[in-house]
A and B are shown apart, each in its own frame.
Chain A
């Protein structure tokens, strides 16, 4: 890794831009993101900035139960995020479907089967500090080049 790549990697950790993706959530997890960006929890001191479009984001926060229809949307939006990228799954729903598991249009499987997830933040909903911790972890992974999508690209280049 040369000096410029190193600087780019560090600045990526120091300023991770995030994009929210509600995959069928009850809005609980999304409501917890709002205080995270407010002065009380102040995610912006870590350089976290919320962006409306996935094309500007480094980290995608995915919340909510996966449904048949949101599966396509997740894949579509995930493809629009520029590399390198990290995915943080918020709450219990992406991991299992939570109380909605077994409903007719709900995919009762973990988000890992749709897109590679780097950090799971448990909670229903998770507290803002847990989400902040998850984002910080994902930013560290981005710097180290250790997110699942980065590792996959790296393996792809080797073969």
Chain B
């Protein structure tokens, strides 16, 4: 009789296991797929250098853009790239990448394009530094913000020269 009661009780009760949709939450520190912020990337290549499985690579379209490529099928989710990125352009999402139907192909590849900007002094195309970095280096109003690395070096040496030889400061202004 007791057995019959149990059976009847279980017939009316919903399932006591988790539904496939009701999965345990992913921990917030879980290292999932990578996200790349092109506005913060300086294309320095540190992430590609520290990536042990070579999941990250850069390609360039000279004078126009630099592309950051990530192939999730080759990633071991160690997080070294996010740890070593000097401008925090890379972060690891906490969400789980879903299954892919395509072969190690399109769905698994991520591309992020960093557009080059012309230098405000010489016009050479270069990867702009992220705003936060520039604010620390030169404040928000400085003319050097739009300079390419060469012009920045020139500006730094010009400043140095004018500090030693005040007369040279005049020349600098004429040059511009």
Interface positions, chain B 84-113, Cβ under 8 Å from A, are 96-104, 108
Binding stretch for chain A, among B2-10, B67-75, B145-153, B162-170? B67-75
Query: Does B18 contact A40, Cβ atoms closer than 8 Å?
Result: yes
The stretch from A13-21, A76-84, A113-121, A151-159 touching chain B is A113-121
Stretch at the interface among A3-11, A50-58, A130-138: A130-138
Q: Which listed residue, B73, B97, B102, touches A96 by the CB 8 Å rule? A: B73
Q: Is the interface of B mostly helix, strand, loop or mixed?
A: loop
Using C-beta atoms within 8 Å of the partner chain, give the interface range for chain B: 20 to 34
State in angstroms the CA–CA spacing of A151 and B53 once bound together: 33
B54 contacts partner chain A, Cβ-Cβ < 8 Å: yes
Stretch binding the partner chain, chosen from B19-27, B57-65, B118-126, B132-140: B19-27
Tell me the complex Cα distance, A55–B18, Å: 30
List A contacts of B33 (CB < 8 A).
122
A25 within 8 A of B: no
Cβ contacts under 8 Å, B72 to chain A:
92, 122
Do A110 and B96 form a contact, CB below 8 Å, given A41-B23, A98-B53, A136-B20?
no
Query: Is B101 a contact partner of A137 (Cβ separation < 8 A)?
Result: yes
- Closest-CB distance, A39 to chain B (whole angstroms): 6
Name 20 A/B residue pairs within 8 A (Cβ), A-sorted. Answer: A41-B18, A41-B23, A41-B24, A42-B17, A92-B53, A92-B75, A95-B74, A95-B108, A96-B104, A98-B53, A110-B73, A118-B101, A119-B100, A122-B97, A122-B99, A122-B100, A129-B20, A129-B23, A129-B24, A132-B23
Known: A130-B99, A136-B20. 19 other contacts (CB 8 A): A45-B17, A92-B73, A92-B74, A92-B75, A95-B74, A95-B104, A99-B53, A101-B74, A120-B73, A120-B108, A121-B99, A122-B75, A122-B108, A126-B96, A129-B20, A129-B24, A129-B96, A130-B96, A134-B99
Chain B residues in the interface with A (C-beta under 8 A)? 15, 17-20, 23-24, 26, 30, 32-33, 52-55, 71-77, 96-104, 108
Which A residues are within 8 Å of any B CB, using their own CB?
39-42, 45-46, 88, 92, 95-99, 101, 110, 112, 117-124, 126-127, 129-130, 132-134, 136-137
